[in-house]
Amino acid sequence: MAEIQLRNVGKRWGSFVGVHNFDLTIADREFLVLLGPSGCGKTTTMRMIAGLEDVTEGEILVDGKVVNDLEPKDRDVAMVFQSYALYPNMNVYENIRFPLKVRGIDPTTHDDKVRSASAMVELDDFLHRKPAELSGGQRQRVALARAIVREPNVFLMDEPLSNLDAKLRVSTRAQIKNLSHELAVTTIYVTHDQIEAMTLADRVVVMKQGVVQQVGSPTEIYDRPANTFVASFIGSPAMNLMDGEVSGGVFRAEHVEISVDAPDGPMTLGFRAEDASLAEGNGQITAPIYTLELLGDATMISVRVGGALVSVKADKAFRAEIGEPVSFSVPKEICHLFEAESGARIGELPH
């Protein structure tokens, strides 16, 4: 089992900072997700843990032992890549078995280990096939089985679902969730997909430009985003954010007047689409409908507020035309307030 500590870890290439002062302890058996847009430093952080990138500053410890100078093969981690990285000339059985051969594991145990790993990812009927004869989802499951068969201390997964179509992504995500529960191995998972982060993680690390923005459970990050970047990155749709001015306990922007507990001055106000509701007439936001989207279980109504699109979920039976005026109820207890300049969260939500 493995607890991983990153102590003020940084990575620089000349003057370019890829990861800045990353400081975190990942608990034994925890499923940690590194989340952020392309270029935010999440894959670089994972590659430093794996030993595929050198650390510029700081230390990486596994179970209290510094591993900065250990070769990747000596770190007891198994990595699952976005690109599957399978051997095209070997069948599925041999692809899964390969790590056992490389590590000199007793050959008499190979068959049991390979079949146990393949059963976990439902590949028993495909062991004789070559990678070229498999679908993308099947290839990704071979890559997972090849990682499982090693019985490592740590799983590292780098965007493993990003090459799959939407339906396969959902089923493979469920499989990874179930596997992590069964195997109970420390897992670090990199993604730019906030739905993967919300559904898989025990804790999420949100990153931007090499800097950690917030660390917390999916619920904490969803309910109390630390700043406007996190608020706009988590949630589907993302949190509505509006720039405006507070005066005399009222936040004002184009088409908007909302009572708030905040000092006077410029501010960004946010709320989730599912927390607001349609109002009969005098709501806190009144504007013409910009677009309507039927989602099946609900109707998403969007209006323009200044330069921002603001969305609210309505009943699936709601019908109206684009351009018709609509009014939303936005009570102050559902509102999040952020500093206009820094984007940092102001205080806590009232209860």
Domains (range + CATH), the chain:
4-228 (3.40.50.300), 238-339 (2.40.50.140)
Q: Is the pLDDT of residue 174 over 80?
A: yes
Distance CA 199, CA 319 (A): 32
Cβ-contact 212, 206 below 8 angstroms: yes
pLDDT of residue 153: 87
pLDDT of residue 348: 52
Q: Report cis status (omega within 30 of 0) of the bond before 237.
A: yes
pLDDT of residue 136: 82
Q: Is the pLDDT of residue 258 over 70?
A: yes
Share of the chain above pLDDT 70, in %: 99
Query: Mean pLDDT across the chain, nearest whole number?
Result: 90
pTM confidence score: 0.89
Q: What is the pLDDT of residues 122-165, one digit of tens each?
A: 888 899 999 889 888 888 888 888 888 888 889 899 888 887 77
Between the alpha carbon of residue 204 and those of residues 30, 227, 257, 301, the distances in Å are: 11, 15, 34, 29
Q: Is the pLDDT of residue 224 over 50?
A: yes
Contacts of residue 243, defined as CB under 8 A and 6 or more positions apart, other chains included, come to: 253, 266, 267, 268, 306, 307, 308, 340
Instruction: Tell me the β-bridge partners of 65.
Output: 62
Q: Report the range of poorest mean pLDDT among 29-43, 47-61, 229-243, 337-351.
A: 337-351
Q: What is the pLDDT of residues 298-349, one digit of tens each?
A: 999 999 998 899 999 999 999 999 999 999 999 999 999 999 999 999 975 4
Q: What is the pLDDT of residues 95-117, one digit of tens each?
A: 999 988 888 888 899 999 999 88
pLDDT of residue 1: 65
pLDDT of residue 247: 95
Q: Is the pLDDT of residue 219 over 90?
A: yes
**351 confidence band (pLDDT: 50, 70, 90):** very low
**What average pLDDT score do residues 204-228 get?**
95
pLDDT of residue 76: 85
Higher pLDDT, 2 or 230: 230
- How far is C-alpha 202 from the geometric centre of its chain's CA atoms? 11
Between the alpha carbon of residue 267 and those of residues 75, 103, 117, 140, 336, the distances in Å are: 47, 58, 53, 45, 10
**What average pLDDT score do residues 22-31 get?**
95
Name the 3-class secondary structure at 181: helix
**282 confidence band (pLDDT: 50, 70, 90):** confident
Q: Is the pLDDT of residue 256 over 60?
A: yes
Residue pointed to by tokens 């990575």: 11
Contacts of residue 119, defined as CB under 8 A and 6 or more positions apart, other chains included, come to: none
